[in-house]
Amino acid sequence: MSEWLDPIPVEDVFEDGWVDCDGCDTRLTDELYSDGWGGCFCRPCLEALVEEWEAEARRYAAENCRITQELPEYDPDQEYRPTPEEYRAGMRDAYTPNAFMAQCRHECTNYDALIRNLYPRSLSARIAYQAIRDRITALLIDAKPDVFHEFDADGW
C-alpha cells in the first residue's frame, strides 16, 4: 500500500503552512497526502481510502477484464531482441515473450477500453489501472502458461 503514498510538504502547497485533513479534520502542518483530485489527507485517512480503492479495483478487474479474441501462437524460433545499437537508432521492435504479452494485451483483450478513461493524476485511477493490468496479465498467463511462465500474476 505504501507504494501509492508520497508525502507532500504542506508549505509547498499552502502559504498558511497548514491544511485540515479531508478525512478527519486533523490540522496538517508538516506533510499531506493527495488523492490526485485536490483532496488533502493525513496518512491514516489516505491509507484507509487506498485499502477501499484497492479492493474495489480488484473486484472491478475480476468482473470486467476479458480476453476478447483468440490469442495468436507464439513461435520461440522467431524470437528477436534489438541490439543496444539498434535500439538507440530507433529500431525497437522485438519478438520476445514480453513483447508478445504486450501485443496480446492490446489486441486480444479489453484492456485498452478499460483504461481509456482513467484520469492519470488520480490515485484511485492509478490503483484501478494497476489492478486491470495485473488481472489482464493473469488471464494471459493462464491462457498461455508455456509462453508466459516467467511472469508473475501478482496474486490473481
> What digits encode the pLDDT tens for the residues 12-66?
989 999 999 999 999 999 999 999 999 999 999 999 999 999 999 999 999 999 9
Q: Which three cell numbers stand for residue 130?
A: 494497476
Query: Average model confidence (pLDDT) for the chain?
Result: 93
C-alpha distance from residue 121 to each of 41, 67, 124 (Å): 16, 27, 9
Which residue carries 505504501 as its cell? Answer: 2
pLDDT at 2: 63
Q: pTM for the full model?
A: 0.87
* Closest residue by Cα to residue 61 from 99, 102, 109: 109
d(CA 123, CA 2): 12
Q: pLDDT confidence of 146, banded at 50, 70, 90?
A: very high
Which residue matches cell numbers 509547498? 12
Tens digits of per-residue pLDDT, 90-144?
Answer: 998 999 999 999 999 999 999 999 999 999 889 999 999 999 999 999 999 999 9
Could you tell me if 86 and 94 are in contact, meaning their C-beta atoms sit under 8 angstroms apart? Answer: no
φ, ψ of residue 96 to 5 degrees: the values are -135, 170
**CB-count burial class (<10 Å; 0-12, 13-18, 19+) for 127:** buried
